[in-house]
């Protein structure tokens, strides 16, 4: 504006300081409360200052509320696994970050790279779960996939065909089991006809 108003004048503007803002973090954060943070912060920064998400909180459903309306939703799986969330919604004073309760959890017992408990959204399938767990382990038998499920006091286990993994929707409390063929490697040297490394199933 100065360049257009005053002929032959050049202006240089530098942002020296960024004002702090107050943000309310509620729900299932480790340390909920009101925090004073830098005005350039986003939801991930704010959650980190609050100590992260507690054991009852959702990593898939975190809401940014402004003036009583939800203006953005954060899915940390998309950030850490897919890198698809752009985090363009900057924070303002008076914003609230709500960490909603965890919903559907599925336990990976074996056969995938990262065994453990995963949170799945409605309509997500075994294929999504395998992707979140970093794919099959090198020992996995992809033809032998089972779902273990407890329902109304009964416990059942059923086999999943490989072609069903993209359509089979897992439920809260399910366990995924993929059989593994684990082997030991043995080096044979010396006066033998065929020295070298040999692999044997564990227990042989």
- Across residues 107-118, what is the average pLDDT? 95
Q: Which pLDDT score is estimated for 88? A: 65
Query: CA–CA distance from 95 to each of 35, 37, 82, 104 (Å)?
Result: 11, 12, 26, 27
Q: Which pLDDT score is estimated for 14? A: 84
Stated as kind and residue range, the H or E segment containing 196 is strand 196-201
Pair of tokens at residue 204: 């042989």
Q: Which pLDDT score is estimated for 118? A: 96
pLDDT band for 11, please (50, 70, 90 cuts): confident
Give the percent of the chain with pLDDT over 70.
93
Residue pLDDT, tens place only, 123-149: 899 999 999 999 999 889 899 999 999
Q: Which pLDDT score is estimated for 109? A: 94
The rounded mean pLDDT for the chain is: 89
- Given a cut of 90, is residue 12 above it in pLDDT? no
Stated as kind and residue range, the H or E segment containing 12 is none
Q: Which pLDDT score is estimated for 98? A: 97
Residue pLDDT, tens place only, 57-96: 999 999 999 999 999 999 999 888 888 766 666 899 999 9
Q: Which pLDDT score is estimated for 200? A: 66
Pair of tokens at residue 170: 């897992």
């Amino acid at each position: 504006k100065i360049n257009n108003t005053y002929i032959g004048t050049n202006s240089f503007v530098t942002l020296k300081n960024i004002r702090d803002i107050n943000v309310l973090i509620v729900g299932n954060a480790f340390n909920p409360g009101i925090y004073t943070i830098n005005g350039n912060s986003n939801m991930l920064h704010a959650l980190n200052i609050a100590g992260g998400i507690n054991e009852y909180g959702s990593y898939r459903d975190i809401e940014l509320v402004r003036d009583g309306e939800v203006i953005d939703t954060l899915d940390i799986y998309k950030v850490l696994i897919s890198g698809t969330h752009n985090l363009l919604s900057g924070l303002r004073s008076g914003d609230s970050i709500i960490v909603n309760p965890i919903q559907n959890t599925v336990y990976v017992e074996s056969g995938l790279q990262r065994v453990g408990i995963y949170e799945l959204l409605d309509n997500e399938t075994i294929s999504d779960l395998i992707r979140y767990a970093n794919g099959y382990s090198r020992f996995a038998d992809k033809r032998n996939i089972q779902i273990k499920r407890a329902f109304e006091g009964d416990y059942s286990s059923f086999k999943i065909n490989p072609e069903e993994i993209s359509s089979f929707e897992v439920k809260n409390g399910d366990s995924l089991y993929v059989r593994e063929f684990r082997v030991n490697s043995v080096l044979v040297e010396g006066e033998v006809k065929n020295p070298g490394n040999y692999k044997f199933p564990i227990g042989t």
